[in-house]
Chains A and B, each alone.
Chain A
Amino acid sequence: MRLLKSQIEQKTGAGWATLLPEEPEDMWHAYNLIQENDRIRAKAVRRVSKTSDAGSTSSQRITLDLTIAVTSTDFDIGSGQLHVSGRVAVENEHVKLGQHHTLDLELNRKFTLEKADGWDSVALEMLKEACDNDKRAELWAVVLGEGTANICMITEHQTILRQRIEMSVPRKRKGGVDGHSKGMDRFFSTTLSTLLRQIDLPNTSTTQQGKMLPLLLASPGFVASAFLAFIRAEATRTTNKPLLALIPSIIIAHSSSAHIHSLNEILSSPAITTKLSDTKYARETALMDKFLTLMRQDDGRAWYGPREVERAVDKGAVGRGGGVLLINNALFRAQNIAERRRWVKLVDRVREAEGGEVRVLSSLHESGKRLEGLGSIAAILTYPLEDLDEEQEGDDVHGGEGENGEMII
């Protein structure tokens, strides 16, 4: 994303910014930036009907600059399209005030965003991050097992599941393993062709200019290495030069399952992190792991859930010297302004008043999804705190120790 112009007052945060999205990922940033009630001005195509004096109507499509007050946003992850609907906020000769319009934000088409209640720290941070162009780590990952494969694209801020392949591969049977090996071959060739369609390998002539993204193959057992062997054989057989060129950048990793959420463990494993450049994803994942380890130790230094974390912040436990606030960016997308303000205040407080660290996790990454499961917010405390959840548990039932017998489960 390119910041073309901006006029934001330091003190109040009032002002606007003109942005030019350049990559599909920028749409994701825009989606995070645009709030309800914000004003957005962009080029739009609108059908305008005119009634002549004689009473006949004629309608025509005209391109015009429209300013709307946002009522809702709609983001399609797969295609990276963002639709912003709202009501016209600035009248012109074709469109009246208050008419509805849905803007389709497009790549390389600038738009101007004006925040309804000023640019807060989180929004400014997001804006900064969105316009930061140098760190762009991307990779393709295929998480596969026997008969299932998930092809995904991992970018700085998103994990996009591009294609999921599910085939039924016959299992080994007594006396004949033909069905199994044939099934696996079929599965591999489907996966490879799908993968190639997704990756869109650069042509040999343009190999130099097109960057080669690393490809990560992960599976339990030997499926990933069998798939690599298949790719190698297939590339040699068909003398597919782009594919042959891709082979050196393939990384094999071990995962415990063929499901996409095992990407978490793959990307946090040291074997992979050394091979990959420092991605945001890897950092987020490592942080989540640290939190979960503390959680397991159960010494009161890790808490999750909105109320518990807020209490911990109140007690000043998320501060200097190791206090970390983990927050899912989904919370900042809250439709409710008050809700958003609550989290922005919390973040500001931790960051400025307490001096703790704040990490905003992308809800499109697996680590963010994990955090979502924990209530979208968690904290690592500087000192142990017990019973942050005490109050609500007024009616604790303490069942007596049962006599030795069969377990209920």
Chain B
Amino acid sequence: MPPGGFSRTRNVDYDDDDAYDDEDDYSEEGEGGDGMTEHDKEQMRVGTTRVRQGLGELSEFTSDAQIQEALWHYYYDVDKSVVYLKNKLGTTEPKQEAPKKEKATSRFDQAASVADQKAPTTTGKQTHPQSSWLEESAYRVAYLSPPPISMPTNEAIGDFFWDVPWGNVPLHRLGVITLDTPRYRGGLLGGSSKLAALAAKRRKDREEAEAAATKANSEANAAVAMLDKLTVKSKEPTSNLRGGDTERPSRARYPGRRRSRSRSPPPEAIDEAILKPAVQQPAIVCELPAQRAKASMFASTLCGGSSTAARRPFPTLEVFPAPYTIYKEYDSAKAFASPSPDDIKKRVQGEKLAQSVEKLAVADEPKVKSKNLNVVQEFEKSGLKRMANFVVVGHVDHGKSTLMGRLLYDLKVIDQRSIDKLRKEAENIGKSSFALAWVMDETSEERSRGVTVDIATNYFETDKTRFTILDAPGHKDFIPNMISGASQADFPVLVIDASTNSFESGLKGQTKEHILIARSMGMQHIIVAVNKMDTVSWSKARFDDITKRMTAFLTEASFLEKRITFIPLAGLTGENVVKKIESSAAHWYTGETLLEALERVELPKRNLQKALRLSVADVFRGDMRSPLSISGRIDSGTVQVGDTILALPANETATIKAIEVQDAPVDWAVAGQIPTLHLTDIDPIHLRQGDMVCAPNAPVKLVKAFTSKLLAFEHVLPMPVEVFRSTLNSPGGIRTLSARLNKFTGEIVKKKPRIVKPGEVARVVVQLERELPIEEGMRVVLRERGRTVGAGLMENVA
């Protein structure tokens, strides 16, 4: 895996851990540096003897100082110190090699090492330490204003501070021992980042490869390489012993590397260098713990909050001596002779990285590829079932939602378990009869009030047809929602409550209004479900009465009698919905069930060839993958994945990322379907319910005013109205009444009428509050004060 975002975060985590570890180490070691108590000294003495015993014959190669150092680090743990020292002396047991090999390399490591191996091997291992070393020196030199003060060794610290009171260290001395956190990280027990370990490992790999290929360029190189290996090996067990910290086996390589560079010792000296890390290192590393201790708990306990360290938690870097300037190698070192490690890294990884990043970018960008299908052909080829969308309308509380719940339940779209759950919930609030309606009414508002508020969409399928149910609210306040639902449907199912008074009140109320709206949307067929027949004990007389009166009303609303179907049924109990009624009381009815009637309805022709027109019914956030989705019925035309669409009135384009029809992903959708389009390349603020989505090459014009033929349901005067066009709902007004027309011929009967009475047809000018996409032939519904005053057909732009 190339260093993508994920691995980067991971590394940061590791670094954090390490920083924490480092601090622990500091405090541990720091205490040591402060000077030893009598007890410590005694322990040290005893420990040294024991270690010598443990080391046996090797003990003669080991100095006291080394042993003491080891003991100090291991808290006088003799065994550990012995092992450590043995390792140091190069007598590592073979088994200690094992863990390193076993160490599972992460994917990052693998990738990194691969990248390394492939990378040009011009950079010897030597250049790395050198340049990093010198970079640091350069840095320090830059800040070097006071003359360098000779560096005290570990043992000398006490002397150095002999005249200094606790917690009141003079500023210049503080400066001398300013800490440099990053530099310490390679300390004996100090943590090193995973990244550093990886880098080291990589370097080692590369260097090994190089060594194998060129068999060592120079003696010096070989020596250093040997040293390097040696160091790594010797560190290995240390970390193992420290508690199975196998994650960072080679982190201790930095000190070793530094030493080797700073001294560039001959091979004999290397051993020396390794064997006496504590003696030679302190100038650079070990003085730091001492400083750290000043700021640590010990100092603060002694001096309280007013200690210098506490007041200045971060010593300024201004007085910063370069400790190694005292070494003569410093002068001879060619600081910028070779590229900096950053440069090398960049060169090694640069192209590789750039390439992989490019690849990544390509993978990340959800460039939507259009399949360039001929959707009309595809549609004809696919042999899809008939698709029908119907809207369930009727007066409030006539049982629309319950009837649909029953239909879905009987068709096993809703399983028994869900129904039982709903039934239980409904019983809990004492509305058990609402259980079936709750299949459609899902919001808490709807359930607590027992009224449908917004359109509910659901799907079911028979052998021949795939149906979409649009369950409309019956309450007069929610007619705007009903209109948006009706605009997406092919035909209405009118639900009528057969019980006494209910039918009559409905006829005055929304039964009538819904029929008018459905008719003005251009629907030709209607199924009238005479519901709650069980409450009138399936009385034929009642059914006939309702049939007669409704037929009269529907034909008046210009539905053709042959396109009206009446079905007596009971939604709550389910007779004649899917199953035929078996009750003897209803023997007089031999007609079809609701389901059969639904399957029989003729559907209007779909305008597949025309330009795309889709009226947005809903804008919502789908999920993580599709942050912006719209749904709505395609009135004409087709869409497919990858298409660019134009959203009006915002006049913004978007790309279709995916299409869903009836909750199933598809490649295309055609007129008559109600797809969900997942969009990209558009800001959500450009999309609203009621917007028009169309093809960019055939946009709908935005109009501010238009003339319309209007069929009045109420008295119409020039007045403010709400204009509904499909799902769009906008304030506007009737500006002028141009003429009254003959209902059937369309001739002008009277110019400039004063008022248009119900049932009359007139030509009016409708003014909109702002420019909206409306084109010729679109149907509009005008409402005022909660009443539908008329239905119009857009004629032209005024």
Contact = CB atoms under 8 A, between A and B. Distances in A.
Interface of A: 147, 166, 168, 170-175, 177, 179-181, 220-222, 226, 254, 256-257, 259-262, 264-265, 292, 295-296, 298, 303-304, 308, 366, 369-370, 373-375, 389, 392-393, 395-409
Contacts of A303: 754
Given A181-B444, A257-B786, A389 B455 contact: no
B442 A172 contact: yes
Contacts of A179: 620-621
Given A262-B785, A370-B719, A399-B749, A177 B619 contact: no
A318 B29 CA distance: 107
Given A296-B715, A373-B719, A408-B746, A392 B752 contact: yes
Contacts of B457: 173-174
Contacts of B711: 407, 409
A3 B517 CA distance: 56
B750 A393 contact: yes
Give the interface centre of A220, A260, A369, A408 by most chain B CB atoms within 10 Å: A408
Contacts of A370: 719-720
B715 A295 contact: yes
B54 interface: no
Given A170-B619, A172-B453, A373-B735, 20 more contacts: A170-B618, A172-B454, A173-B618, A174-B442, A174-B663, A177-B443, A177-B444, A180-B443, A220-B478, A254-B477, A292-B717, A298-B757, A373-B720, A395-B751, A397-B749, A399-B741, A399-B748, A400-B742, A402-B745, A405-B744
B684 interface: yes
Contacts of A172: 442-443, 446, 453-456
Nearest to B721: A261
| 5 tightest A-B CB contacts, nearest first | A256-B786, A402-B744, A399-B747, A170-B620, A399-B742
Nearest to A254: B477
Contacts of A264: 785
B734 interface: yes
A373 B475 contact: no
Given A179-B620, A399-B742, A407 B689 contact: no
Given A171-B689, A181-B443, A393-B752, A409 B720 contact: no
Contacts of B744: 402-408
A220 B475 CA distance: 10
A294 to B, nearest CB: 11
A272 to B, nearest CB: 14
A409 B791 contact: yes
Nearest to A366: B720
Contacts of B689: 147, 168, 171
Nearest to B439: A174
**How many interface residues does chain B have, given as a range?**
35 or more
A407 B558 contact: yes
A257 B445 CA distance: 19
B620 A173 contact: yes
B255 interface: no
B334 interface: no
Contact of B720 (A261, A389, A399): A261
Contacts of B751: 393, 395-397
Interface in B134-180: none
28 contacts: A171-B689, A172-B455, A172-B456, A174-B458, A177-B444, A179-B621, A222-B445, A254-B477, A256-B786, A257-B480, A257-B722, A259-B731, A264-B785, A265-B786, A295-B717, A373-B717, A373-B719, A373-B733, A374-B718, A389-B752, A398-B749, A399-B745, A402-B743, A402-B744, A405-B744, A407-B558, A408-B741, A409-B709
Interface string B675-699: 0000000001001110000000000
Contacts of A256: 476-477, 783, 785-787
Contact of A408 (B455, B717, B761): B761
Given A296-B715, A396-B750, A171 B618 contact: yes
Given A168-B688, A373-B718, A405-B744, A260 B749 contact: no
B750 A369 contact: no
B754 A389 contact: yes
A374 B716 CA distance: 12
Interface in B650-709: 663, 684, 687-689, 709
Interface string B437-465: 00000111110010001111110000000
B722 A259 contact: yes
A88 B475 CA distance: 63
Nearest to B458: A174
A374 B737 CA distance: 10
A298 B785 contact: no
A352 B633 CA distance: 62
A305 to B, nearest CB: 8
A408 B445 contact: no
A409 B793 contact: yes
B755 interface: yes
B404 interface: no
A303 B793 CA distance: 28
Contact of A168 (B455, B619, B745, B785): B619
Contacts of B787: 256
A398 B687 CA distance: 47
Contact of B709 (A166, A168, A408): A408
B617 interface: yes
A223 to B, nearest CB: 9
A369 B443 contact: no
Given A171-B617, A389-B752, A397-B748, A221 B453 contact: yes
A374 B731 contact: no
A389 B754 CA distance: 8
B477 A220 contact: yes
Interface string B49-90: 000000000000000000000000000000000000000000
Nearest to A396: B750
B759 to A, nearest CB: 10
A78 B731 CA distance: 20
A111 to B, nearest CB: 35
A298 B747 CA distance: 23
Nearest to B769: A259
Contacts of A259: 722, 731
A373 B752 CA distance: 14
Given A396-B750, A402-B743, A407-B711, A168 B719 contact: no
A374 to B, nearest CB: 6
Contacts of A260: 731
Nearest to A148: B729
B213 to A, nearest CB: 63
Contacts of B443: 172, 177, 180-181
Nearest to B484: A171
A244 to B, nearest CB: 25
B720 A221 contact: no
Contacts of B442: 172, 174-175, 177
Interface in B768-791: 783, 785-787, 791
A180 to B, nearest CB: 6
Nearest to B522: A409
A390 to B, nearest CB: 11
Contacts of A261: 720, 731
B540 to A, nearest CB: 31
B455 A171 contact: yes
Nearest to A260: B731
Contacts of A408: 709, 741, 743-746, 761
A377 to B, nearest CB: 13
Nearest to B791: A409
Interface in B170-207: none
B731 A407 contact: no
A172 B457 CA distance: 9
Interface string B411-455: 000000000000000000000000000000011111001000111
A259 to B, nearest CB: 4
Nearest to A257: B722
Contacts of A298: 715, 755, 757
Interface string B235-276: 000000000000000000000000000000000000000000
